[in-house]
Every structure is written in structure tokens, then in C-alpha cells.
Structure 1
Amino acid sequence: MIKLLLADDQALVRGALAALLNLEPDLEVVAEVGRGDEVLAAVERANPDVALLDVEMPGMDGIAAAAQLHTAHPNVRILMVTTFGRPGYLRRAIDAGASGFVVKDTPARELADAVRRVHLGLRVVDPALATETLTAGTSPLTTREREVLAAASHGATAAAIAKSLHLSEGTVRNHLSSAIGKTGSRTRAEAAHTAERLGWL
């Protein structure tokens, strides 16, 4: 029996996934959480073999939760299951330790098969997303540029970003200018939108 943990902030989606996966004779959902920052504690309580994580969750996003889980419990396989099939998400998830990445509209039988393959130590990636990721290339943004652009995407001023990241306003402006250039944008709002669309934020 392959034991599963489901992490998704949408209770309806989480419940539907659990119901579908529990229909499989060799799969059992042993834990469900609705926040990324609840994943590690749930894994320690339920000891699953595979964790299915959504990307966008409150508390901590699924990619950060995957990195935390992979460091603490490298034996637990991670399968990202998300609505948002953005190329940058795939690359970041694999870098964080995920073994697979599928979108939520994957048919139930294929999702169950993906779980089994990840459990065996294989890598499973949605083929269309894999192609798109190769085409899009890697994110050109540095970690600091990503942090500054993410803060800017929520409407924060340069002064507020500087204060929260312990940088000077000039440094923040330099990072924003660099991010705007690297995304081929004209404004920081456009740069943030482009980076979000490609999954770089």
C-alpha cells in the first residue's frame, strides 16, 4: 500500500483527489492539509510514502514546502499537482526536490499512475509543460531580483521593499531596473506580470 499526503488549500479539490486516489487498491490517503506550512508536521505524524503538493498555498507555497520536506525527509517522494502549469514552476519544483509535476486536469488513472511511478523513484512530468519549460529556458532573475520583484508585484514602494529586505532604496531600484530589462518589460508591474506568468516568482 502506498501512503499519500495531500496538500491543497481548496478543500473541494483536496476532497475530490482523496476520493479518487482512495478508489485505487494500492493507494491510501493518510493525511490532508490545506497550508504549505503544515506539510512537514503532517509528514512526521502520518509517515506517507508520497506527498502530493499544490504550488499556490497559504503559509508557504508548495515549492518552498517541497524543499523543506526534501531536506528533512528525502525518502518521501514529492509530486506537484497544480492548476498552474507554468514553466518556471516546473524547473523550481524539480530543483526543490520534487520527482514529478502534473496539472490538476490530469485524468484520475494517469494521476494514480504518476503516483506509482514517483514512488518507484521515477520522474514524471506533464509532457506539454516539459516542452514549454525547455522553450522558455531558465529564469534570468537572481534570487534578490526575484525577491524585490515579488514585493513590487504586491504594490510595495521602493522604500517599503528596501526596509523589508534590509537594502538601500538605490539597491532596490537597481534590482527592479535589472528585472525589468531581463523580462523585456517597460515597467515593474509588467515585469512582475511576465515573471509570474512564466513561474519565475
Structure 2
Amino acid sequence: MIRVMVVDDHLVVRQGLAACFEYRTEDVRVVGGCGRGDQVVDAAHTLAPDVVLMNCNMDGGDGWAATEALLAVQPHCHVIFFSAIGAGPADYARARAVGAVGYLHKSVDPDDLENYVREVAAGGTAWPGLLDHNDNS
């Protein structure tokens, strides 16, 4: 079972992703989440996720700082930025710099999202449109 934590300041996003994975997959489950960047480390400690879907901009600390803090104490977590804000090369570079292994737009097809989560959990990456998502460099 792949354990996913969703970090987003919109409850409907957290609940919607949980319902989506519950309904569509047998191997991926949202085990919980939080709505503020400053809650990420404690939530991850409790939930023990394999993959974290992280919003970039939220109250209580942004996703960039939250990712750095999380990976400093739980380097085995795989963080994918999951944002409604379109990403360009600078955003991808920033995400990589803080330790994320992907950046997906919230308009991603559900089938693709599931596949990216599986790929990232297996040690791959999720950089659609910019980098080959099998590139671990």
C-alpha cells in the first residue's frame, strides 16, 4: 500500500483526493493531511507517508519551506508539488532545489496522478512536460 499525505489549505482538495484514490485504486491511500505548512512535519511524523502531495502556497508557511523542513527530518518521503499555479522552468528548479521529486498541476488527469504517485513511491520522479519522469538526477 502506498501511503499518501495531502498538504493543501483547501479541505475539499484534501477530501477529494482521498475519495478519488479510495474509489479508483487498491494500492494508493490518502492516510491524512494538513492545511498549513507549519503542520507538515508533525503530520508526517504521525501519518508516515510514502508520498506527499504538497501545495506551494498556503497559510502557516509555504510548501517550499515545509518541504525543506520535512525532508530534513524524514528524507525517505517523496514530495510532489501539487499546485493550481502553472509551473515553468524556474518553478521546477526551485522544487528540485528543496528536494521535491515532481511538480504536477492540479488539472492533471486522475489516471496520470495515480501513475505518478506509484512511480514516485518506487523511486522515480514526476516532471511532466519538462523532464523525463524516470530521471532521478
Q: What is the TM-score of this pair, normalised by structure 1?
A: 0.62
1:103–1:126 contact (8 Å) kept in structure 2: no
2:57 aligned partner: 56
Q: 1:22 Cα deviation (Å)?
A: 2.0
CA distance in structure 2 between the partners assigned to 1:40 and 1:14 by the alignment:
17
| Greater relative CO (CA pairs within 8 A, separation 6+) | 2
- The answer on whether the counterparts of 1:48 and 1:76 sit within 8 Å (CA) in structure 2 is yes
The match for 2:134 is: none
SS of the residue corresponding to residue 19 of structure 1 reads helix
Q: How much identity, in percent, do the aligned residues show?
A: 33
Q: What does 1:31-110 correspond to in 2, within 5 Å? A: 31-87=32-88, 88-110=90-112
What is the CA–CA distance in structure 1 between the aligned matches of 2:54 and 2:62, rounded to whole Å?
Answer: 9
Aligned-pair CA distance for 1:89:
2.2
Q: Which structure is higher in helix share?
A: 1
SS in structure 2 of the partner of residue 80 of structure 1: strand
- Displacement after TM superposition at 1:17 (Å): 1.4
Unaligned 5+ segments in structure 2 are: 132-137
Greater Cα radius of gyration, structure 1 or 2: 1
| Aligned-pair CA distance for 1:123 | 1.3
Give secondary structure in 1 for the equivalent of 2:26: coil
Alignment deviations for residues 118-175 of structure 1 (CA, whole Å, 9 cap, x no partner): 1111111121xx28xxxxxxxxxxxxxxxxxxxxxxxxxxxxxxxxxxxxxxxxxxxx
Q: Contact (CA 8 Å) 2:87, 2:103: kept in 1 or not?
A: no
| Alpha-carbon shift at residue 86 of structure 1 (Å) | 2.8
How many residue pairs end up in the alignment? Answer: 129
Structure 1 residues 175-194: Cα deviation after superposition (integer angstroms, max 9, x where no partner): xxxxxxxxxxxxxxxxxxxx
What amino acid does structure 2 have at the position aligned with 1:45? T
Q: What TM-score does the superposition give when structure 2 sets the normalisation length?
A: 0.89
Q: Which runs of 4+ in 1 moved over 3 A?
A: none
Match of 2:69, SS?
Answer: helix
> 1:45-97 CA deviation, whole Å, 9 max, x = no partner?
11111111011111111111111111111101111111012322221111101
Q: Distance in 1 between matches of 2:72 and 2:91?
A: 19
The separation in 1 between residues aligned to 2:100 and 2:113, in whole angstroms, is: 15
Q: Is the partner of 1:84 in helix, strand or coil?
A: coil
